[in-house]
Structure 1
Amino acid sequence: MGGCVSVSISCDQLTKDVCSCLSRNGDYIHGLEENLTALQRALEEIEQRREDLLRKIVSEERRGLQRLSVVQGWVSKVEEIVPRVNELVRMRSVQVQRLCLCGYCSKDLVSSYRYGKRVMKLIEEIELLRSQGNFAVAAERVDAARVEERPTRPMVAMESMLEGAWNRLMEDEIGILGLHGMGGVGKTTLLSHINNRFSRVGGEFDIVIWIVVSKELQIQRIQDEIWEKLRSDNEKWKQKTEDIKASNIYNVLKHKRFVLLLDDIWSKVDLTEVGVPFPSRENGCKIVFTTRLKEICGRMGVDSDMEVRCLSPDDAWDLFSKKVGEITLGSHPEIPTLARTVAKKCRLPLALNVIGETMA
């Protein structure tokens, strides 16, 4: 009739379609206030779980453990979702005011639908995070290199001095050993060989830490280098105060049997300020340092000190002749006499090495 098309829809079908539409979208609008309350409650619960987990992590990290990557990833996801929830909560009053017909409809249906859908999706995301946030283990021990070996010169003519220092250090009653002597006498070389020898001791010590102190004492730099050896997370560390750094270092080192090697000390290094526990017979830890000033040994409270002396004339000649080399020594009749005169007058290993290489 007149080109019109007659469409017949049964009452039952129409009712079914309307109900289907309401079931799909009704919760987004009619359940909006209830869903917002559920969202805030879910956020509070997951934030509480995050805080509990972070407290556990901090406790583990103080013992020298490192948080697992999966744990850090979960914490980051929680931190990322918080501002998204807060954004929706700030819009709550405006969106609720748009509801009408006892909350079954909205004055701005599209806006309310989209808002309600975002609320529901965040609830689902938080629920998924909550199900993934059960960590029996939050941190584990990461084995850094127990001893980082240092490049060293051969111990020509200083072997007996090394044995004497090592044997003294290994005595149970020796916790702090000071090596003193004039510049160039071989203190750093001696300390480097002591460092490397710990790599052959086995598992007797947990970690060996080498720090160059130098003339200008900087407590925070020493703390930073110690922490870098103990841990690898340095971002938040840089923002901490000296006192907090000392506390963190102490709480890690007190659980370890450590060796601390301090090279080139010019003034007293206050171990308490740094955060280093004092060695004792009970904890079995060791500290060795080098200094040009004998009085520093007293200020550091050493259990024993040892003077690193110039080489004897025979040892000086042994070192110097090896540096000069047989070819050079035999290249002219006067060279051996000149070389012996140099070795006799200069018995510092550093100077003998430099002059010998130049003469060669």
Structure 2
Amino acid sequence: MGNVCSTSLSCDDTISRCLDCIVSQTGYICHLKDNLDALRTEFQKLIEARNDVQIRVTVAEQRQWRRLQQVQGWLSRVQDVEKEVPRLLPQNFAEEKEILGGFCSGNCIKSYKYGKRVVQSLKNVQSLRKEGDFKDVAQTVPENPVDERPLPPTVVGMQSTLDRVWRCLKEEPVGIVGLYGMGGVGKTTLLTQINNNFLHTPNNFDFVIWEVVSRDLQLGKIQESIAKKIGLCNESWDSKSFDEKAQEIFKTMRNTKFVLLVVTG
């Protein structure tokens, strides 16, 4: 008896799921006109949003700013949708009437597939509209990846050490190079030579960052200095928390090749 009950419940569940599926699938056909109207409206709003973003990008690039990668990716996805949606939408009233009338002819499979594509495209367009609400579309770009630093008039006796450190940076897979010694032996002068070498020597580094770390460690100042160098000090930077700024710096620098020269004092 228990087995009979169990079988009955299982059949009910199966029938219920089948009915839900049928209702969902017929909805692609029954609501086709409404979905086409919605797709047409949402697509137009997406194009308007795209135009607004493109204008902001153009203005920023005229100021020598660099468009954000997420903005470029979004513009590319919108471009793909621009090719797809017009193929789905009827181009005039007569064509729409023919499409809707044709779906009463009994070709349910064709009607279902077309209606499903319209709904999927509508969801995609709506999602893209939400993604396109950018607070910032570009970031500043430093004029030069290296800032030249002043050197003493005469530098003597450092060429061999300079050559060794330079080989580590240019030829050998060395992640960290440490220079140590008593005060006054020329560590800062040597780092200054290394920094200035990047100005006149071909290299594939995106940034060369010079940082002075004092005894009273001030992480906020170091963070601001690095952010300015790599072009993150845009309109929204000041409103971000310390942790958010750290994440932005990390995200930017992990996609670049850089040299960080740290001088302690």
- TM-score normalized by the length of structure 2: 0.47
Identify, as 1 or 2, the structure richer in helix.
Answer: 2
Higher Cα radius of gyration = 1
- TM-score normalized by the length of structure 1: 0.35
